[in-house]
Structure 1
């Protein structure tokens, strides 16, 4: 028995060229395929589906699709035309455990529609996880940190390539970030490098210089954002920066990706987003802990573990640091690795309370000339 009357339900299976639309009114189903991005045809198919199911023109349309490479613009398109949309986390969708699974766009659209009906129509509870949608400004703000991280990897690749090329000719530790011309390099016997190798390394150096310049530009922009703190996200980042051990990169990353626009009802929700919840295995006499789930944001999880090490170094009098020290006294290297993850879990909750509720971490030190109660 449907709990929602006179509603049209639509699941979208997205691809680069086509969108597979699966419609239902709770009893019957209908599928159509349209060209990807064709908003006019999408509205037309919604109107046709309402007529086929005998629904009034003003009936509510409830839709869903899986999060993926298309980002959030499709959600904003659907919202603009009056559709109530939900973005589903693909990793939360139920999957058959059979060895071979039939997979087509038609079947995927049917499965998505079934999940949507169970949640919105039949009232059986939500069988999936929902992706939070940022505002256009918040989404754009995240690009700065992500672009810098990508450039750092690119810089590492250029440096590794230069070192590998030079290692074929001589041994030695060359600082390629300060090298201005490949002609300065010499072989093991003091001779110049071959013309082609020298030209290849010079081109690699030029690409390295471009990346270095772009990294400097981004870091200058980040510094300006923290100083001016014009918006809510940058104000939270500036507040995090007041704590010893928290640098500008970590402060901006945590603010823009985690604390500025996402809502967490409790600390368990926060841990779940970071992939830091436990995954116990208990079946019969077999009981063990499989470690953290690692199902959340790998970028933020890595940043929090790095920050936990910095916290232990720069916040020795903090309660969390003392807890960590007491935990690793009798343990070895393995206990230290496990404990730092546990510390990162506790630390992210402390920072969340500090930013959201103005609760200073107990025993935490602040940088000189700053006040913990101002941004």
Structure 2
């Protein structure tokens, strides 16, 4: 009985941990089963995403056979959150492989001024931290929550809106500064500005017409400004109707709060509250409003809030009078 229990415990703890160090040209794949000193590290450099992912699955199958692992051994894959987002997570989950996406800033690193850093070393460190996390050492790394495909797609609405607003302000500011160089202080925010520019009514400080090159550049800037304004107006018309019903319900609940309008409610619902929070501390930590005390030896300093997490959610919380808006340093 004792031997059977020991064998069962060993089987339950047997895990093939895999880490992916992602890059555009190639991936580093580190594999470790917990029974050897150093993990195996390989490089996959297939040109297409599907073939590169299949190469990773092939490596997993080969090491199962090479290390005499059971066919149904638990396989856990991890990679750092980055520009590849969550398609790898969903592809592996669809194939029945457990996958975790980790916060890059939560991985401990050496504090030497000069330290070796390569993709190979990063992959090895990631797989070692993954095994420690699976053993229950939650402080070794932090796993992030992955949104559903619909929640991730809905975020593009508010992000595109913010980008278009930024482009509109940039075009206007650029035209204003170009005119100021010649002493022309005409208001570029007026709807009549484009017509006056087309008719050649703008003048320098001495009454001379604008140089031809500057005039042509301003015309091109006006055309780009008009396009951005048209896209922004079209997005505003379809913003609410294009959202799924759960998102509209979340926005409706948030807009009942004092000081939260439709835009602020949409930003909070799509960027922040697709997650499930159990207390207010989790909300504060997610938007970077958690305190960061420094208490070491005789030194005690209040460093303010962390300002990490979701910047858009934090901006909306501050703008709408949310928690910490009056105390943020």
**Number of residue pairs matched by the alignment:** 311
Match of 2:175 among 151, 155, 162: 162
CA shift, 1:74, in A, is 0.9
Write out per-residue CA displacement over residues 34-77 of structure 1, whole angstroms, 9 at most, x where no aligned residue.
12521221221110010111112222211100000111101111
Q: Runs ≥4 in structure 1, deviation > 6 angstroms?
A: none
Q: 1:342/1:186 Cα in 2 relative to 1: closer, same or farther (>3 Å)?
A: closer
1:286-325 equivalence runs, <5 A: 286-308=299-321
CA contact (8 A) 2:318 2:325 kept: no
Structure 1 115/140 Cα, relative in aligned 2: closer, same or farther at 3 Å? same
**Structure 1 Cα separation of the partners of residues 211 and 328 of structure 2:** 53
> Relative to structure 2, which stretch is displaced further, 37-46 or 176-185?
176-185
| Partner SS, residue 182 of structure 2 | coil
Q: Name the CA distance, whole Å, in 1 between partners of 2:239 and 2:136.
A: 46
d(CA) in 2 for partners of 1:154, 1:201: 15
- Name the residue aligned to 1:193: 210
Residue of structure 2 in register with 1:53 after alignment: 67
SS at match of 1:118: helix
Name the CA shift for 1:23/1:217 in 2 (closer, same or farther; >3 Å). Answer: same
Cα separation, partners in 2 of 1:222 and 1:55, compared to 1, 3 Å: same
- Aligned equivalents of 1:213 and 1:243: distance in 2? 31
C-alpha deviation, 1:123, in angstroms: 3.6
> Unpaired runs of 5+ in structure 1?
312-319, 321-337, 344-375
Structure 1 residue 184 corresponds to structure 2 residue 170? no
Distance 2:109 2:11 in 1: 26
2:94 is aligned, of 59, 76, 80, to: 80
Cα RMSD over matched residues?
Answer: 2.2
1:217 alignment partner in structure 2: 234
SS in 2 for 1:65: strand
Q: For 1:9 and 1:32, how far apart are their aligned partners in 2?
A: 14
Match of 2:287 in 1: 274
**Which of 7, 15, 25 is the equivalent residue of 2:15?**
7
Structure 2 segments unaligned to the other structure (5+ residues): 1-8
What SS class does the counterpart of residue 99 from structure 2 fall into? strand
Partner deviation per Cα, 1:166-225 (whole Å, 9 max, x = no partner): 112224241345122322322223332122111110001100101111111111122435
Q: Does the alignment pair 1:241 with 2:258?
A: no
